[in-house]
Structure 1
Amino acid sequence: MNIRQAAPKDAWAIAAIWNREISDGVSTFNSVEKSDAEIVRMIAERGTAVRVAEDEGQLIGFATYGPFRGGIGYAQSMEHTIYLDPAARGHGAGRALMRAIEKVARANGVHVLVAGIGGENAAGIAFHSALGFEEVGRMPEVGRKFGRWMDLVLMQKIL
């Protein structure tokens, strides 16, 4: 497995992984799929803060981070996103991506990484907990998807 900085050529594969979760999963409350052009813009804007995992030349996951909230007081707090192809889960790609994105974040002066996780995503909560993230809040029924209200679990890791 190889972890590297994302390039514009990765946009379609990143979009495919992300859009599968948007359409079928409970990890995000978003219901609008990402376009390749949006992903290309994200890669251009975030630079080193977008990492991908490849296995035998196939992109199997990605991680990135961006602003947690607006305002100068939050400049060193970032919210991250990580998604894997379902077949890649449980084989270390997620941990490798998180190590890589945390290293980039530290180098860029990030103090806190925040994870906003759908309350129904027990695997995502357990994954983050195993990586040293702590649950710092639970917001009942703030998201809506699949015709039902969903909770948001906030976890953070001080770098």
Structure 2
Amino acid sequence: MTMTIQFEPIQEQHVPEVLAIYNYYVLNTTVSFHTEPLSLEQMRAQLMNVPAHYKSYIIRSGEASADIAGYILVTPHKNKQAYDTTAEVTVYLHPDQTGQGLGSQALCFLEEAAAESGFHVLVATVCTENINSIRLFERHGYEKCAHFRQIGRKFDRWLDIASYQKIMKE
């Protein structure tokens, strides 16, 4: 089923809803490696203080939805000039919006936005317990390029992460 969705650049007024989505994952999952909820100021700093060619969007689903269904980010991979054509991509959906094909549509949109901004490589870093995200990125042509074992600790256990990359144009 393909859901009708719209994307809007993240604005100041969206930050509280985006924060609520993110903090759900902080408190309840290993999707995020934060162990404590972020404050409004911390989330604002992460979303609003990035160079212009890195894009962040909210996702609205349905015909006239006032609620944010999720958000997507294109952020710096590393803070060194040689990485300027590489970006980290992130998809966070409201927990009630998962499993409906929204992530796939969002990732396609995000890739188009990244390509328009001139990015050559996209990287997604995922906790290896997050099978749904791994499947999403693999379905869209991302290849596993790194696996870091026991790199994080949350909920009293060691966690692995894997990095997936997609070369946009050869």
TM-score (norm 2): 0.86
| Partner residue, 1:134 | 143
Q: Does 1:151 align with 2:160?
A: yes
Question: Which shifted more, 13-22 or 69-78?
Answer: 69-78
Moved over 6 A (4+): none
| Partner residue, 2:14 | 10
Gaps of 5+ in 1: none
CA distance in 1, matches of 2:47, 2:127: 25
Structure 2 counterpart SS, 1:59 = coil
CA distance in 2, matches of 1:133, 1:35: 32
Tell me the CA shift for residue 59 of structure 1: 0.2
Kindly provide the amino acid, as one letter, of the partner of residue 96 in structure 1: Q
CA distance in 2, matches of 1:135, 1:142: 17
CA distance in 2, matches of 1:3, 1:93: 11
| Partner residue, 2:34 | 30
Q: Does 1:51 align with 2:51?
A: no
CA distance in 1, matches of 2:78, 2:47: 20
Structure 1 counterpart SS, 2:69 = strand
Kindly provide the amino acid, as one letter, of the partner of residue 120 in structure 1: E
Task: Determine which structure has the larger helix proportion and give its number.
Answer: 1
Tell me the CA shift for residue 7 of structure 1: 1.3
Alignment counterpart, residue 19 of structure 1, candidates 20, 23, 31: 23
Gaps of 5+ in 2: none
CA distance in 2, matches of 1:128, 1:10: 26
Tell me the CA shift for residue 38 of structure 1: 2.9
Describe how 1:76-95 pairs up with structure 2 within 5 A: 76-95=85-104
What number of residue pairs does the alignment pair up? Answer: 159
CA distance in 2, matches of 1:36, 1:93: 26
Tell me the CA shift for residue 126 of structure 1: 0.7
Superposed CA RMSD: 1.5
